[in-house]
Chains A and B, each alone.
Chain A
Amino acid sequence: MTCFRSRDRWHSYVVKSLSRMEMREMETHLERCAECRARVAAIRETSGFLAVARVPLIAPPMIKDQVMAAIDMGKYRAKAGFPRFGQGLQHLGFSLLAAGIILLMVNLTPVGRNLRSGEVADLNVQFGKEIALPFTHLSQTLSVAAEKFGLMGRGQDEMGSWVPGKE
């Protein structure tokens, strides 16, 4: 073997699985390289010789019956209906991130150009209360639950809100 291309893509060339440009390039090389021509001829010859050893078998029908009986047809049906746990968490993460961005934008966006500065301040206070309300309720509920299960003491602050640890 002296040709630098002798170990190249000749098996691919024989079955024409190269790009048009590569095929043309190799054909050009073949025209002037006797060594590579002999190599291609040998591959084709081997292919013809080994063709006698190809086994003309046909799969027995029982294979299909047994495979279809063995597989769980509902395997992917269940998965298609419900997102996987990991996917659910991923969606939850995205949802929380999106909610945070929306809240930030709402805070930063002026409500209207016609409002005077005092009105904007009032609106902000009102809006802040509306946002804080569900959290206050949640906090109270958790405190009551904690008290019920004896996890901590409870009490009320000066404003009448339930605070943990204060009798």
Chain B
Amino acid sequence: MRDEELIQSILQGDGEKYAVIVDRYQTRLYRTAYYYAGNVEDARDLTQEILIKAYNSLAKFKHGSAFSTWLYRIAVNHCIDWSRKKRPRCEEATCLLNLSDGEAGPEERFLRQERAAEVHRAVGCLPERYSTVLMLYYFEEWTPQEIAFILAISKRTVETRLSRGRKMLREKIPLKQAGGVCHDLFSQSG
């Protein structure tokens, strides 16, 4: 059943159908909340708050737009509000969970975790407008068109912020070691 059909039946009184929506989006929302919160407890609370807020606002959802981007608009706004109130702007360290697959050895796992933590730190320390578009584009794989809808800005602005954000990130992480070869991962173009 498509999202829009589910929403239609919920709005007609079948509230139980919201469980399907929760199943469909909770992991993605949880991951996004984690990028903002940096720990699982806050990420869990944020995800719950977002899903409850979305349910209570379902009547405002305009059919014709994608439900996923509408839900993400609520999610990103909620997370930004939360991080403005609760989280220090730029954290010293980000505690990441076990990010590696089971096949990697302990040393490789540790290095990957370190690298991931450093990237998170660098993205998190950027001004919010840049870190948000970078997170949505590179981590959550939304298209610039979808990001434009989520953030209620133009597609051109998204492209500009992605370019500028990438440049800022390059200044923070100029050289990275990858695959045993030391090279500039954020090459000079763009």
Contacts and interface: CB of A to CB of B under 8 A. Distances in A.
A82 B59 CA distance: 15
Interface of A: 6-12, 15, 17, 35, 38-39, 41-43, 45-47, 49-60, 62-64, 66-68, 70-77, 79-81
Given A74-B15, A76-B10, A77-B15, A41 B189 contact: yes
Given A42-B186, A55-B99, A76-B58, A12 B10 contact: no
B73 to A, nearest CB: 18
B19 A50 contact: no
A35 B189 contact: yes
A19 B12 CA distance: 36
Given A62-B44, A73-B15, 11 more contacts: A9-B144, A10-B190, A11-B158, A42-B189, A43-B166, A46-B185, A49-B185, A52-B119, A53-B115, A63-B26, A63-B44
Contacts of B58: 76
Nearest to A81: B13
Chain A interface, DSSP helix/strand/loop, else mixed: helix
Interface residues of B, number: 62
Interface of B: 10-16, 18-19, 22-23, 26-27, 29-31, 34-35, 40, 43-44, 47-48, 51-52, 55-56, 58-59, 96-97, 99, 112, 115-116, 119-120, 123, 134, 137-139, 141, 143-146, 155, 158-160, 162-163, 166, 169, 176, 178, 185-187, 189-190
Nearest to A70: B52
Contact of B143 (A17, A43, A54): A17
Contact of A79 (B16, B26, B59, B120): B59
A156 B41 CA distance: 81
20 contacts: A7-B159, A9-B159, A11-B144, A12-B143, A15-B143, A47-B138, A50-B123, A52-B99, A55-B97, A55-B139, A59-B27, A59-B47, A63-B47, A67-B22, A70-B48, A73-B15, A76-B12, A76-B13, A76-B59, A80-B12
